[in-house]
Amino acid sequence: MIFLNSLQNKMGAQTELILKTSSLSITSSRKKILEIFLSASTALAHQDIEKLAEQYDRVTIYRTLQTFLDRGIIHTIPTTDNTIKYALCSDDCITSGHHHDNHVHFLCDQCGRTLCLDDVSIPAITLPKGYSMKEINMVVNGICKTCME
Amino acid sequence: MIFLNSLQNKMGAQTELILKTSSLSITSSRKKILEIFLSASTALAHQDIEKLAEQYDRVTIYRTLQTFLDRGIIHTIPTTDNTIKYALCSDDCITSGHHHDNHVHFLCDQCGRTLCLDDVSIPAITLPKGYSMKEINMVVNGICKTCME
DNA sequence: TATAGAATGCAACTTTGTTGCAAAATACTT
DNA sequence: AAGTATTTTGCAACAAAGTTGCATTCTATA
Ligand SMILES: [Mn+2]
Ligand SMILES: [Mn+2]
Ligand SMILES: [Zn+2]
Ligand SMILES: [Zn+2]
């Protein structure tokens, strides 16, 4: 029990730190949504968060996700099925002002989970003359490790 | 006038050929939507097509796009802003039964257009052990050639 | 603790996507 | 060319997703 409280406190401290670092006021919905991301092993859709944070209004969740995106706390993952998934940015992302995610994302066709493959970086490409690159996304569909076993 | 009719006829013949090749019955909505894709230089959202084919019901457009996807006549392009864009598959894609698009897509942050960079192929990557790849998408955001000038 | 400013919840609304079914169009047979 | 089976379409009704304005509540700070 003491142990659990300690964990809870640690998580609480972490979420408050993230919010402070981004100059955001500390509110219970923001902390809750950050906690959800921190304990999730996969990227989450808006709907996933709605289910895990039922006490908060749908609109609040929309606005909170947008705020987190603006501050670079989370990033979006484009998918082929018209659902945006959100995931926490790595420490690098969060601390640096400008967002620069550089890993590949994986969508499992079987379990439906979306994973950040933090260790697989996106290879460089050469664009035709006249094009300037700002962001790059690489998304792979297939079967994930867990589902293969 | 004769010239225009000839162009029209050529486009008509082309759309009918595509439909026949995919064993689809030839209907005016399917021809119209194919014509839109053939004369478009960019990928299109459902909404774009709705505006360009006002005479047809929204539901018909949804179903037609789905049919074209199923037959591999068009492919989707995932975007970070929760809108799916559709584009004609290259000849290779259409003729071969199985879909294997392999080019990078470009989203211009200024004009909003989505372009198939047919000449830029997606580089290979190595996934962690246990993952199997089925499809791969690479989407680049930035400023397109036209907007740079 | 008082107060200005920010965030939230609610209601109302728009947009996007889905489904069932009758009517219309197409492909196919004769 | 006409008739018929099958497919496609439009409409209506609905469900889900996303947006906006505004009054209330909460947070930061003096
Ligand atoms: Mn990620
Ligand atoms: Mn393409
Ligand atoms: Zn899986
Ligand atoms: Zn452009």
Q: What is the pTM of this model?
A: 0.88
Which chain B positions have a beta carbon within 8 Å of A83's beta carbon? 82
Residue with tokens 């700002």: A134
Gap from B65 CA to C28 C1', Å: 26
Nearest nucleotide from residue B28 CA, by C1' atom: C25
**What is d(CA B53, CA B49) in angstroms, rounded to the nearest whole number?**
6
A44-94: per-residue pLDDT in tens?
Answer: 999 999 999 999 999 999 999 999 999 999 999 999 888 899 999 876 655
Buried b (16+ CB within 10 A) or exposed e, A19-36: beebebeeeeebbbbbbb
Minimal Cβ distance to A144: which of B83, B131, B142: B131
Chain D bases closer than 7 angstroms to a protein Cβ: 7-13, 17-21, 26-28
Q: Where are the alpha helices (DSSP H) in B1-149?
A: 2-21, 28-39, 46-52, 58-70, 91-95, 145-148
Q: Which domain holds residue A55?
A: 2-148
Q: In this prediction, what percent of chain B has a pLDDT beyond 70? A: 87
Return the ligand number nearest the Cα of A112: 3
Mean pLDDT of A111-121: 93
Nearest nucleotide from residue A26 CA, by C1' atom: D27
Strand pairing class (B85-88; B44-45): antiparallel
The answer on pLDDT for B2 being more than 70 is no
The CATH number for B102's domain is: 1.10.10.10
Q: Is the CB of A29 under 7 A from strand C?
A: yes
Q: Is the CB of B57 under 7 A from strand D?
A: yes
B72-121: per-residue pLDDT in tens?
Answer: 999 999 998 888 999 998 766 555 444 567 899 999 999 999 999 999 99
Gap from A30 CA to C20 C1', Å: 42
**What is d(CA A137, CA B114) in angstroms, rounded to the nearest whole number?**
14
The first and second tokens of residue B74, run together, are: 């068009």
- Work out how many domains chain B is built from and give that number: 1
